[in-house]
Amino acid sequence: MEFISIFFSFFTLLSALFFFTSSVRGGRKNLPLPPGTLGWPYIGETFQLYSQNPNVFFASKVKKYGSIFKTHVLGCRCVMISSPAAAKLVLVTKSHLFKPTFPASKERMLGKQAIFFHQGDYHSKLRRLVLRAFTPESVKTIIPDIESIAVDSLRSCENRLVNTFQEMKTFTFNVALLSIFGKDEVLYRKDLKRCYHILEKGYNSMPVNLPGTLFNKSMKARKELAQILAKILTLRRESKTEEQKDLLGSFMEQKEGLSDEQIADNIIGVIFAARDTTASVITWIVKYLAENPSVLQAVTEEQEGIMKGKDDKGLTWVDTKKMPITSRVIQETLRVASILSFTFREAVEDVEFEGYLIPKGWKVLPLFRNIHHSPENFPNPEKFDPSRFEVAPKPNTFMPFGNGAHSCPGNELAKLEILVLLHHLTTKYRWSMVGPQNEIHYAPFALPQNGLPITLTRK
Ligand code: HEM
C-alpha cells in the first residue's frame, strides 16, 4: 500500500514536472518579444544608431519603449536593457544564460584563448591567475615604478601642445607592461609597442585577410607579437630566477599548465583591456578638472597635503588611501564619461525575461551609460559633481567596471595609476585646453574631441 502511494506520488510529481516544463517551453514561445523596432532588413537600425551620438539613440528608445527594448544593429538582433535590476540579472544572477560575445575580427586579433571569450572552468582559472597579479597586495609593490613612469610621461609633455589621449596611451601602455613583465618591461617596450600599434589599427576592421588590408597587416603584427612573447617566455624559463609576482609569472606557474599560446593570447588581451580604457578616463579627468576650478583646487590641496611631510620620498599605498577627494573625482568621471557605454552578451537559449522572450542567439546589451545617466539613480545626472559620491550609490547603479564573473580584474591597478598620475599632475603642473572640446568622439571608447589637445607648463 505504502509502495503504491509512493509510486503514485512519484508519478504525479513526474507528470507535474513534465507539464510544468513543457508549459514553460510552450509559454516561452508564446511570450512577446520586447517592444521596439527592427528597422530595414539586414541593416536594421544601424544608420539611426551611428548617424548621431549613439546615446541619443539609446535615450530616445528608452523614452519611447521603457528600460527593455529590441532593435537590430550591425547585422544582429539585440535586446537593450537599462534598468539596474535587469543588468544584474544578465551579468550576475543569470549570467550562465548570457555568454560574452565579440566581433570575429576582435577574437582573431586578441587570440581565441583570451579570457574575454570564455565561460566555465577555463575562464575561472584565467580569472584567478589575473586577479592574483592585480590584488592590492600585488599592485602596491609596483607603486615606485608607476610613479617614475608617470613623472617621465608628464615631463615629456612639458611646454608643448600635446594630445592628452595619445600621451596617456603611452603612460597606460607602459604601466600595463610593468604589471605584466615587472621591471623587465623596459627591455621589450619598443618592439611590443611597434607591433601593438599596427595590431590595434585592425581591431575594428572587416576580417578580410588579403594582402594590403588593415586586417592583414594587423594579423602579421599579431604573429610578430606572439614571437616576441615566445622569446620572453624562453628567456624567463632559462634565467631560473625565483617565480615572479607579475602577471607573466602568474601565468607561467608550472602547476597551472597554460600553453605558450594561451599565455600570449591573454597577455595581448590584458594590454588591450588596460590601455585605452584607462587613458580615456584620465583624458576626461584632465578635461573636467580644467572646467571645474573649485574641484581642481580641492584636489590640488589634497595632493599638496600628501606631498608635505614626505621630503621627496615616493608615494606609498597608505598615501593613496588618503585621497578621498581625488578618488571621488575618479568615480564621478567614470560615471559621467561612462567610457564603456555598454557591453555585449548573447542568449545561449530562449530566455524568459521580465515577461518577454529573448530568443536564443540574440545579443543582449546592458546599457551602462543609461544607468549612470538616469535621474532616478543620479539626480541632475549631466552635472559633474564628485561630492555625490560622499554617499554610496544605490546597489547596481554604478558599474564602470562591469559586474559579475567578467567584471574588471584590473580595477585596482587602474585606480592606482590614475591617482599616482593625478598626484604629480596637480602638484607640479598647470594646463589649458586648446581648441574646441564640446564634442564626444567614440573610438570606440567615449573621448573628448580630438583627444583633448592641451598645453602643460610647470608651476
Ligand atoms: C579605468 C579603466 C578601466 C575600465 C573602465 C575597465 C572596464 C572594464 C569592464 C566594464 C569590464 C567588463 C566587460 C564585460 O563585462 O563585458 C572589464 C573587463 C576586463 N578588464 Fe577592465 N577596465 C579598466 C582597466 C583595466 C585594466 C588596467 C586592466 C588590466 C590591467 C583591465 C583588465 C580587464 C580584463 C582582463 C577584463 C576581462 C575580464 C573577464 O572577462 O573575466 N581593465 N573592464
Q: What is the pLDDT of residues 57-79, one digit of tens each?
A: 888 899 999 999 999 987 889 99
Tell me the residue range of the domain where 48 lies: 19-111+339-372
Task: Report the atom number in ligand 1 closest to the C-alpha of 100.
Answer: 16
Q: What is the value of pTM for the model shown?
A: 0.91
The 3-state secondary structure of the chain reads CHHHHHHHHHHHHHHHHHHHHHHHHHHHHHCCCCCECCCECCCECHHHHHCCCHHHHHHHHHHHHCCEEEEEECCEEEEEECCHHHHHHHHHHCHHHEEECCCHHHHHHHCCCCHHHCCHHHHHHHHHHHHHHCCHHHHHHHHHHHHHHHHHHHHHHECCEEEHHHHHHHHHHHHHHHHHHHHHHHHHHHHHHHHHHHHHHCCCCCCCCCCCCHHHHHHHHHHHHHHHHHHHHHHHHHHCCCCCCCHHHHHHCHHHCCCHHHHHHHHHHHHHHHHHHHHHHHHHHHHHHHHCHHHHHHHHHHHHHHHHCCCCCCCCHHHHCCCHHHHHHHHHHHHHHCCCCCCCEEECCCEEECCEEECCCCEEEECHHHHHCCCCCCCCCCCCCHHHHHCCCCCCCCCCCCCHHHCCCCHHHHHHHHHHHHHHHHHHEEEEECCCCCCEEECCCEEEHHHCEEEEEEC
Q: Is residue 283 in contact with ligand 1, taking CB distance under 6 Å? A: no
Q: Is residue 262 in contact with ligand 1, taking CB distance under 6 Å? A: no
Q: Is residue 406 in contact with ligand 1, taking CB distance under 6 Å? A: yes
Is residue 96 domain-shared with residue 55, that is, in the same domain?
Answer: yes
CB contact set of 91 (below 8 Å; sequence gap of 6+): 98, 343, 345, 366, 399, 402, 403, 404, 405, 406, 407
pLDDT one-digit tens code per residue, 129-142: 999 999 999 999 99
| Residue 205 clears pLDDT 80, i.e. is over it | no
Is residue 367 domain-shared with residue 382, that is, in the same domain?
Answer: no
Over range 414-429, report the average pLDDT. Answer: 98
| Cell numbers given for 55 | 546615446
Is residue 197 situated within a structural domain? no
Q: What is the CATH number of the domain that holds 318?
A: 1.10.630.10
Q: What is the CATH number of the domain that holds 48?
A: 3.30.43.20
Q: Considering 327, 354, 372, which residue would you say is the last residue of a domain?
A: 372
Task: Report the atom number in ligand 1 closest to the C-alpha of 176.
Answer: 30
Residues in the chain: 459
| Residue 248 clears pLDDT 50, i.e. is over it | yes
Is residue 55 domain-shared with residue 169, that is, in the same domain?
Answer: no
Is residue 280 situated within a structural domain? yes
Higher pLDDT pick, 285 / 238: 285
Is residue 379 domain-shared with residue 346, that is, in the same domain?
Answer: no
Task: Report the atom number in ligand 1 closest to the C-alpha of 115.
Answer: 40
pLDDT, residue 29, reads 65
pLDDT, residue 23, reads 34
pLDDT one-digit tens code per residue, 439-450: 888 777 889 999
Query: Nearest residue CA, atom 29 of ligand 1?
Result: 410
Residue 399 CA to ligand 1 centre (angstroms)? 11
- In this structure, what are the phi and psi dihedrals at residue 363, rounded to the nearest 5 degrees? -80, 150
Q: Is residue 179 in contact with ligand 1, taking CB distance under 6 Å? A: yes
Highest mean pLDDT among 7-21, 53-67, 214-228: 214-228
Is residue 291 situated within a structural domain? yes
Residue 24 CA to ligand 1 centre (angstroms)? 36
Is residue 201 situated within a structural domain? no
Residue 434 CA to ligand 1 centre (angstroms)? 31
C-alpha to C-alpha distance for 86 and 68, rounded to whole angstroms: 9
Mutate to test the pocket of ligand 1, among 263, 277, 281, 371 (most ligand atoms within 8 A of CB): 277
Is residue 34 domain-shared with residue 176, that is, in the same domain?
Answer: no
pLDDT one-digit tens code per residue, 159-183: 999 999 999 999 999 999 999 998 8
Is residue 205 situated within a structural domain? no
Q: Is residue 365 in contact with ligand 1, taking CB distance under 6 Å? A: no
Beta bridge partners of 345: 100, 364
* Cell 562591469, residue located: 402
Is residue 100 situated within a structural domain? yes
Mutate to test the pocket of ligand 1, among 401, 403, 419, 420 (most ligand atoms within 8 A of CB): 401
| Residue 103 clears pLDDT 80, i.e. is over it | no
| Residue 12 clears pLDDT 60, i.e. is over it | no
Is residue 65 domain-shared with residue 164, that is, in the same domain?
Answer: no
Residue 261 CA to ligand 1 centre (angstroms)? 21
pLDDT, residue 11, reads 33
Q: Is residue 403 in contact with ligand 1, taking CB distance under 6 Å? A: no
| Residue 17 clears pLDDT 70, i.e. is over it | no
Over range 326-335, report the average pLDDT. Answer: 98
C-alpha to C-alpha distance for 112 and 261, rounded to whole angstroms: 10
Q: Considering 372, 396, 416, which residue would you say is the last residue of a domain?
A: 372
- CB count within 10 Å of CB 398 equals 20
Query: Nearest residue CA, atom 19 of ligand 1?
Result: 408
Q: What is the mean pLDDT of the chain?
A: 89
Higher pLDDT pick, 385 / 203: 385
Q: Is residue 127 in contact with ligand 1, taking CB distance under 6 Å? A: yes
Q: Is residue 129 in contact with ligand 1, taking CB distance under 6 Å? A: no
Is residue 219 situated within a structural domain? no
pLDDT, residue 242, reads 67
pLDDT, residue 7, reads 31
Q: Is residue 338 in contact with ligand 1, taking CB distance under 6 Å? A: no
Task: Report the atom number in ligand 1 closest to the C-alpha of 266.
Answer: 35
Is residue 97 domain-shared with residue 162, that is, in the same domain?
Answer: no
pLDDT, residue 442, reads 78
Q: Is residue 116 in contact with ligand 1, taking CB distance under 6 Å? A: yes
Q: Is residue 270 in contact with ligand 1, taking CB distance under 6 Å? A: yes
Q: Considering 329, 353, 372, which residue would you say is the last residue of a domain?
A: 372
Over range 83-89, report the average pLDDT. Answer: 95
Residue 175 CA to ligand 1 centre (angstroms)? 15
Is residue 36 domain-shared with residue 172, that is, in the same domain?
Answer: no
| Residue 9 clears pLDDT 50, i.e. is over it | no
Is residue 263 domain-shared with residue 410, that is, in the same domain?
Answer: yes
Query: What percent of the chain is predicted at pLDDT more than 70?
Result: 93
Is residue 102 domain-shared with residue 248, that is, in the same domain?
Answer: no
Is residue 158 situated within a structural domain? yes
Count of the separate structural domains present in the chain: 2
Is residue 352 domain-shared with residue 334, that is, in the same domain?
Answer: no
Was 408 annotated as part of a binding site? yes
Is residue 284 domain-shared with residue 312, that is, in the same domain?
Answer: yes
Mutate to test the pocket of ligand 1, among 408, 411, 415, 419 (most ligand atoms within 8 A of CB): 408
Contact call for residues 415 and 330 (beta carbons, < 8 A): yes
Query: Nearest residue CA, atom 43 of ligand 1?
Result: 408
Residue 45 binned pLDDT confidence (cut-offs 50, 70, 90): confident
Query: Nearest residue CA, atom 27 of ligand 1?
Result: 274
